[in-house]
Structure 1
Amino acid sequence: MRRKSVLYLDVAEQIKADIMNGTYPVGSLLPTEAELEQLFDVSKITVRRAIELLSSEELVEKKSGKGTTVLSNRPYNKLSKAGTFTEYLNDSGQKVAKKILKLETVRLASDSPIYSCLGEKAVKVSRLYTLDDQPYIYFNYYLPTILGDVPLEDFEQESLYRLMDQHGIEIVKFEDSFQTVELTAEQQQILATSEKNGLKRIRKSFGISGKVVEYSEAIYNTALYPYVIEYEA
Structure 2
Amino acid sequence: MRRKSVLYMDVAEQIKADILSGKYPVGSLLPTESELEEIFEVSKITVRRAIEILADEELLEKKSGKGTTVLSNKPYNKLSKAGTFTEYLHDSGLNIVKKNIQLEHVTLEKGTPIYECLGETAVKFSRLYLLDEQPYIYFEYFLPKELSDVSIEKFDKESLYRILDQHHIEIFRFEDSFQIVQLTPKQQELLQTTETMAMKRIRRSFGKKNQVVEFSEALYNTAMHPYVIEYEA
Q: How far 1:93 moved relative to its partner?
A: 2.5
Of 18-27 and 131-140, the range deviating more from structure 2: 18-27
Matches within 5 A, 1:71-90: 71-90=71-90
CA contact (8 A) 2:172 2:206 kept: yes
The sequence identity of aligned pairs, in percent, is 67
Q: What residue number does 1:160 align with?
A: 160
Q: How far 1:37 moved relative to its partner?
A: 4.2
Q: What residue number does 2:42 align with?
A: 43
Matches within 5 A, 1:1-233: 3-5=2-4, 7=6, 8-38=8-38, 40=39, 42-45=41-44, 47-233=47-233
The CA distance in 1 between the partners of 2:84 and 2:40, in whole Å, is 32
CA contact (8 A) 2:5 2:42 kept: no
The CA distance in 2 between the partners of 1:10 and 1:128, in whole Å, is 33
1:154-186: per-residue Cα shift (whole Å, max 9, x none)?
A: 112211111111111111112111000111121
- How many aligned residue pairs are there? 231
TM-score (norm 2): 0.90
Which ranges of structure 1 fall in alignment gaps of 5 or more residues? Answer: none
The CA distance in 1 between the partners of 2:4 and 2:165, in whole Å, is 35
The CA distance in 2 between the partners of 1:50 and 1:192, in whole Å, is 36
Of 170-179 and 3-12, the range deviating more from structure 2: 3-12
Of 48-57 and 117-126, the range deviating more from structure 2: 48-57
Cα distance, 1:50–1:95 mapped onto 2, change above 3 Å: closer
The CA distance in 1 between the partners of 2:223 and 2:217, in whole Å, is 18
Q: How far 1:126 moved relative to its partner?
A: 0.9
C-alpha RMSD of the superposition: 2.0
The DSSP-based 3-state class of the residue aligned with 1:141 is strand
CA contact (8 A) 1:55 1:62 kept: yes
Cα distance, 1:98–1:73 mapped onto 2, change above 3 Å: same
Counterpart code for 1:53: I
Q: How far 1:189 moved relative to its partner?
A: 1.6
The DSSP-based 3-state class of the residue aligned with 1:88 is helix
Which ranges of structure 2 fall in alignment gaps of 5 or more residues? Answer: none
The CA distance in 1 between the partners of 2:17 and 2:95, in whole Å, is 34
